[in-house]
DNA sequence: TTCTGAGTCGAACCCAAAGT
DNA sequence: ACTTTGGGTTCGACTCAGAA
């Protein structure tokens, strides 16, 4: 475990109420490797091919080659790679170890290692690879929650990039469903990222190395499947809290061929099934249908009823839940915007009231000061004037110049007269 | 206008891993 | 054993902009 992960676990343990929603990085499958991006691309390309063939009903036996045509490679990469380069990269994939922690049936922990591929061959028109069992099983069980690919993306990303963007990436990945993190006070953020109080003490340094820098690199990375931006909350000019927003990035390199319309799906939908759905509705409607279906499935699970997501997705897409859901969300969005406007108007009014109150207090103080500095005879003259101009009832004027009603009148007269 | 936090660029330094 | 390389850390110098 790295320091930052420890910190995150600590954060979870302390269970700070305002931050109870922040999830700690989960225990990771450790996949150690150092392959290049190009090698990774070959690997993903081959895995996609494997998936397509498998879904078409082609069962692969252990040790059987899966073939990819050279033209498909050329099309995917945008250029024709040299045979010697392909050989070199496939060999690197074979040699590179993919080690992970597994839990044996008896509960014992074990380490398991293979290559990214176990055999390869390159011919003039096609290349063939044999995948290790663990990967074949993972592709064949893509909808299983513990499928290695759920963890692989983040690990691969982790190995390609720096210290902080990996942790930040994980934080953002956890909220990709919600679309944004809650406001995170700066100290909590430092803690989560594993930054000690004396490190990057100035916000500008923290921003430079732990926020903006990593965010830039996450967004620029070909491997990242999310896009992140962030917003500071300021007290005066000081930044006191942060919020990250993120959305899934439409990317072609990392996934196993899934259409982006299904990016919110919580189980894998076969490519053939995806095509069937795509013929029924446009991308946006499909997205909303799946979001609505996710919500419905959660409600069902809350009630203790098991939800078959495949069935729910089918129902949602066939009945067009997406259209209704989209209008509902848009209405909620509009309401929120309206509420925002109302709140802002209210705040402006409160500020104006305060301003008025301050002004009137200032005026009163000024009048009071002027009144106090008057010579007794001038005060008496003013009192006489008050009696003729304001013609107050006798009971009010019997106190003479110390009468409350007179003083109020005189303050006003003096403040206006002087101002 | 001055002060100060933030944003940006770049240089220097440290350390560990990899290469020779 | 020594050198190179790369990432992380820290800092200075400068600019910008909001608040007093």
Would you say the CATH fold of A31-142 matches that of A1-24+161-257? Answer: yes
A31-142 CATH choice from 3.40.50, 3.90.550, 1.10.10, 3.30.1490: 1.10.10
3-class DSSP state of A175: coil
3-class DSSP state of A101: strand
Residue A237 CA to nucleotide C16 C1', Å?
A: 13
> For the ranges A58-72, A154-168, A228-242, A295-309, which has the lowest average pLDDT?
A154-168
For residue A204, pLDDT over 80 is answered with yes
Q: In the numeric block, which tokens belong to residue A38?
A: 């190009």
Mean pLDDT, range A105-125, rounded to an integer: 80
A344 strand C contact, CB < 7 Å: no
3-class DSSP state of A240: strand
| Predicted confidence band of residue A335 (pLDDT cuts 50, 70, 90) | very high
Please, what is the end-to-end C-alpha distance for chain A in angstroms?
A: 71
Contact criterion met (CB below 8 Å) for A207 and A188: no
Residue A208 CA to nucleotide B10 C1', Å?
A: 13
What is the reported pLDDT for A352?
Answer: 81
| Predicted confidence band of residue A251 (pLDDT cuts 50, 70, 90) | low
**Other Cβ atoms within 10 Å of A156 Cβ, number:** 20
List the single protein residue with the shortest CA to C1' distance from B4: A237
Query: What is the domain class of A1-24+161-257 according to CATH?
Result: mainly alpha
- Axis-axis angle for helices A70-77, A37-55 (nearest 10): 130
**Other Cβ atoms within 10 Å of A180 Cβ, number:** 16
Q: Which nucleotide is nearest to A213 (CA to C1')?
A: B8
Mean pLDDT, range A322-329, rounded to an integer: 91
Cα separation, A202 vs A106, whole angstroms: 51
For residue A2, pLDDT over 70 is answered with no
| Predicted confidence band of residue A80 (pLDDT cuts 50, 70, 90) | confident
Q: What are A344-354's pLDDT values in tens digits?
A: 888 888 878 88
Q: What is the mean pLDDT of chain A?
A: 78
Going from N- to C-terminal start, the domains of chain A cover: 1-24+161-257, 31-142, 259-361, 374-419
| Predicted confidence band of residue A221 (pLDDT cuts 50, 70, 90) | confident
β-partners of residue A398 are none
| Predicted confidence band of residue A122 (pLDDT cuts 50, 70, 90) | very high
A36 strand C contact, CB < 7 Å: no
Contact criterion met (CB below 8 Å) for A109 and A38: no
A150 strand C contact, CB < 7 Å: no
Using alpha carbons, list the distances in angstroms from residue A242 to A19, A183, A238: 12, 5, 12
């Amino acid at each position: 475990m790295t320091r930052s992960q420890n910190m995150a676990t600590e954060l979870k343990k302390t269970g700070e109420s305002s931050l109870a929603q922040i999830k700690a990085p989960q225990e990771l499958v450790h996949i150690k490797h150092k392959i290049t991006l190009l090698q990774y691309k070959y690997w993903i390309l081959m895995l996609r091919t494997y998936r397509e063939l498998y879904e078409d009903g082609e069962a692969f036996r252990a040790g059987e080659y899966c073939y990819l045509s050279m033209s498909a490679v050329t099309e995917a990469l945008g250029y024709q790679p040299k045979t010697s380069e392909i050989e070199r990269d496939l060999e690197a994939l074979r040699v590179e170890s993919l080690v992970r922690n597994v839990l044996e049936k008896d509960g014992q922990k074990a380490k398991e290692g293979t290559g990214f591929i176990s055999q390869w061959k390159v011919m003039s028109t096609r290349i063939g690879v044999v995948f290790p069992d663990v990967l074949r099983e993972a592709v064949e069980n893509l909808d299983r929650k513990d499928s290695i690919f759920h963890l692989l993306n983040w690990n691969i990303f982790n190995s390609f990039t720096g210290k902080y963007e990996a942790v930040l990436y994980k934080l953002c990945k956890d909220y990709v469903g919600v679309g944004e993190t809650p406001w995170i006070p700066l100290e909590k953020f430092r803690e989560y990222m594993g930054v000690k109080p004396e490190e990057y003490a100035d916000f500008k340094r923290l921003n430079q190395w732990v926020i903006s820098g990593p965010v830039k690199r996450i967004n620029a990375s070909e491997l990242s499947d999310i896009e992140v931006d962030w917003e500071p909350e300021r007290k005066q000019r000081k930044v006191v809290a942060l919020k990250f927003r993120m959305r899934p990035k439409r990317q072609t390199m990392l996934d196993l061929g899934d259409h982006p319309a299904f990016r919110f799906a919580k189980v894998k939908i076969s490519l053939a099934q995806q095509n069937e759905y795509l013929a029924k509705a446009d991308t946006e409607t499909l997205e909303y249908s799946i979001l609505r279906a996710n919500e419905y499935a959660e409600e069902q699970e809350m009630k203790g009823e098991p939800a078959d997501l495949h069935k729910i997705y089918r129902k949602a897409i066939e009945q067009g839940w997406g259209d209704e859901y989209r209008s509902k969300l848009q209405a909620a969005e509009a309401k929120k915007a309206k509420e925002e406007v109302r709140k802002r108007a209210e705040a402006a009014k409160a500020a104006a009231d305060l301003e008025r109150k301050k002004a009137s207090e200032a005026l009163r103080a000024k009048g009071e000061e002027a009144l106090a500095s008057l010579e007794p005879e001038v005060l008496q003259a003013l009192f006489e004037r008050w009696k003729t101009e304001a013609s107050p009832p006798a009971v009010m004027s019997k106190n003479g110049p110390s009468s409350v009603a007179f003083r109020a009148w005189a303050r006003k007269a003096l403040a206006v007269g002087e101002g």
